[in-house]
Amino acid sequence: MHLLLVGISHRTAPVELRERLDFASRGLDTAVMALAERRAASEAAVVSTCNRAEMYVVCEDVERAREDLLAFLCEFHQVSAEDVQDHLYQRVDTDAARHLFRVASGLDSLVVGEPQILGQVKDAYGVASAKQTVGPVLNKLFHWSFGVGKRVRSETALAEGAVSVSFAAVSLARKIFGNLAGRSVLVVGAGEMGKLTALHLKGQGIGRLAITSRTLASAQQLASVVGGEVIPWSDLAPTLVDSDIVITATGAAQPVLTRAMVQAAVPASRTRPLFIIDIAVPRDVEADAGEIEQVFLYNIDDLQAIVHDNLSKRSAEVGKAEMIVDAEVGKFSQWQRSRGAIPTVVALRQRFEAIRRAELERLEPKLAALPPEARGRVDEITRLIVEKLLLQPTEQLKTLPDRETVVAYSDALNRLFALADDSDAATTAKAPVAIPDATPEAK
């Protein structure tokens, strides 16, 4: 059985196509159930985010399964093969595992190290598991990817540091205030960056969130999105006095916050700082307002410098993260190879056990005179002898370096011990023995 991944991402397809192939729009549960019904897949899972749409399946025939997945993708999303096939990528076995491990670690993200992707991978697995479309291989693969993602985050600094202007603003606010819970925030203007920063601050448990804009309708629209209250433009100055954090994003040609206005908001009696994030171009706040005691003023260039520095730091951690992924891929690959030996290992153990029991039955007349404790000891000793005889060949078979060698060794063992020939086993053991030549996993 093979592990196959077919998908698209921000690296291979434009956003317009990714939007058309978004599995989440119709529900991951619907998508994974439909995928699991395809004949070429015995296990199935779907990972779908704004930057990727990926199908993971377990199959016997990789090429047939790939064609089936392409057909499914086109049918499910009502797109033509010509529109998508040049944007698809395919990964098989070890390469498929490496890809998912890198995705879960944030190494394949648009913003390297972003933390949300691990949760999205977990959600994808959770849906597939709930719908019972995953089996032993995908269960192992996804749980292993969770561990890899956690290792990368705990053993490297790949996910540390803000790498967007809005995150950088929140990080600075936390450095200044520590806990942001209960802090009063004022958003001046209704720009996109102001909205994003307000949303991130909202996630920190802030208290009051006030929105003001020269255009009342714009303020009302932003307030409805971020969950804030609208303040009339004429109340800007008094609201400034009551604020801890101010975000300005008006797009005005001249500053809307002068040094005098900021100075009035920070009288000598004020003990708490005033943090102003000016992300407008041209700037909304007079530069010398940052010289006032207790005022911390940052503009868009300051924030972008922080973002650039953090991205550089993350880049330095990529190599460490890739080494962790490489090590885990090696372990997973060994586990996957060992699965190919399972039918032979099981059949070999069943053959030896059948022979052992047949011999004990043959010697039953001679053992009948022994007390129960002694007979139990004989049974235990013979079982331990069989276990020890099989231990080394079993372990060696499970750790063979590649699939071809596993197949060759398994074939040799099947021939040497006639594992598929029950009649030979019966002759050797001098008793009828029924030994299956495969396990449920191999079927």
182, 139 Cβ separation under 8 angstroms: no
Q: Which residues pair with 211 in a beta bridge?
A: 187, 230
Strand partners, 48: 53
Q: Are 362 and 431 in contact (CB under 8 A)?
A: yes
Q: Out of 17, 50, 79, 407, which one is annotated catalytic?
A: 50
Q: Is 41 exposed, middle or buried (0-12, 13-18, 19+ CB in 10 A)?
A: buried
The single-letter code of the amino acid at 236 is L
283-287-292 Cα angle (round to 5): 135
3: how many CB neighbours lie within 10 A of its CB? 24
Residue with tokens 């991944």: 5
50 counts as catalytic:
yes
| 74 vs 87: CA distance, rounded Å | 13
Q: Tell me the sheet residues that pair with 276.
A: 246, 297
Tell me the C-alpha distance between 202 and 227, whole Å. 9
CB 8 within 8 A of CB 85: no
In the sheet that holds 245-248, the strands lie side by side as 229-230, 209-212, 185-188, 245-248, 274-278, 295-299
Q: What are the residue numbers of the active site?
A: 50
